[in-house]
Copies of this chain bind each other. A is one copy, B any other.
Amino acid sequence: SNTQDYTEQTVHTLPLYLTQHAPAAMEILEAVEPEDLDCVEVGDGNLNLVFIVTNKYKPENQVIVKQSLPYVRCVGESWPLTLDRAYYEYQALAAQKAACPEFVPSLYHFSKPNGLIVMEYLKPPHIILRKGLIQGIRYPTMAVDMGTFCGKTLFLTSGFALSTTELRAKVEMWSANSEMCALTEQVVFTDPYMEATNNRWTSPQLDDEKKAIEDDIELKHAAAHYKHKFVGSTQALIHADLHSGSVMCAPSPQATYVIDPEFAFYGPMGFDTGAFVANLFLAYVAQPGHPHRGTDYAEWILEQIATFYAAFERQFLELWNDPTAHTGFVYGRNTLHSPEAVARAQQSFMKDLLADTLGFAGMKMLRRIVGIAHVEDLESIEDADVRAQCEKHGLALAKTFIKTAPLISSMDEAIQLARSFKK
């Protein structure tokens, strides 16, 4: 991608940029002059700059500016990365906003050459869900909201809603976000299963576990199957980075937002639902490392997994049963219309989707324990022996999901496995 017209923004340059180029953002801010604006950089992610912009005179009026850098932020300029990801993030946010307006921030401005998005600021007490789980916060509707988000965005961007021609046009466009897909393919589907310099694990406690993964033919076979599915299946526009760090919540009803879909592309639905449950299972296995929260918080997390998945299935089937939403070619109404036919299709599709969800969940869990990028839920456990114990619990569950997902008959059974694997 072209970096010629690109200007990396700073807290000093951004006010003028917004005044000159982002009228809708200025309107939301109710600001006119660059001097009206205060900027602060708050990005905690691995890849991009994030600024909060505030109207000095009306401090309630704030927006977020997210700008992509032409390299991986946490590595530096030595690892270049396409600026186009901002374009895909913007397009994905717009598509998700259209499908599920209640849980996606509003969009105010986009510049392709600058890789820059201006969007709604999700104010405190909204924080990143992962941080909230680490603090032991109980969110009243987060799990249901996320189920609704997945149900709506996955159904409405898929062949359940689109004609084959519409779907192919989407696939054509999203296939070009391949540099981001390649990152996922490497860090989720490949590196953790081999010796790769990027891998990291609690050592020496998990050395044998890591070796066992590299020697486990059944596991690597299943992993290869999921990789093929990730690349070769164009079911829906998936967020493709739907971990608990891509969700912001406040502890009040319906205060849930999904952000950061820069990895989005047309892929298998189960990769999103799987990513989300994976991160809840990781939060669960981390609980013995955070004993002050009590065992009932661990159980609360497991409940959220069940609640999330039930809400997802409910939302998905609600749309499927609605002829104004189920307008696409998948199990098309022109041939499958009797209640019996629909029931059969729904049962078999949801069964396969559960298997994909659990299989991809296992892949996402495993890579967070022995791959390049770990999760704070586990990293924040200071005692390495305690942490390793939690990680072993997570690995056992991950491997079972990867190897036997199609044999697990319900999310409740998966949750029961998580409980029973605890030492």
Contact = CB atoms under 8 A, between A and B. Distances in A.
A107 interface: no
A185 to B, nearest CB: 5
A172 interface: yes
A221 B348 contact: yes
A27 interface: no
Chain A interface main SS type = helix
Interface string A98-129: 00000000000000000000000000000000
Interface stretch (A148-156, A336-344, A398-406): A336-344
Contacts of A175: 168-169, 171-172, 175
A335 B193 contact: yes
A372 to B, nearest CB: 16
Interface stretch (A49-57, A228-236, A316-324): A228-236
A176 interface: yes
A219 to B, nearest CB: 10
Interface string A328-353: 01111011101011001100100000
B178 A336 contact: no
Copies in the complex: 2
A335 B185 CA distance: 13
> Quick one: which of A172, A175, A234 has the most chain B CB within 10 A?
A175
Contacts of A26: none
A225 B159 CA distance: 12
Interface string A52-87: 000000000000000000000000000000000000
Interface residues of A, number: 46
A227 interface: yes
A10 interface: no
B231 A336 contact: no
Given A167-B231, A231-B234, 17 more contacts: A159-B232, A164-B181, A165-B178, A165-B179, A168-B176, A168-B181, A168-B231, A175-B175, A190-B335, A217-B336, A217-B338, A221-B344, A224-B331, A224-B336, A227-B332, A232-B235, A233-B233
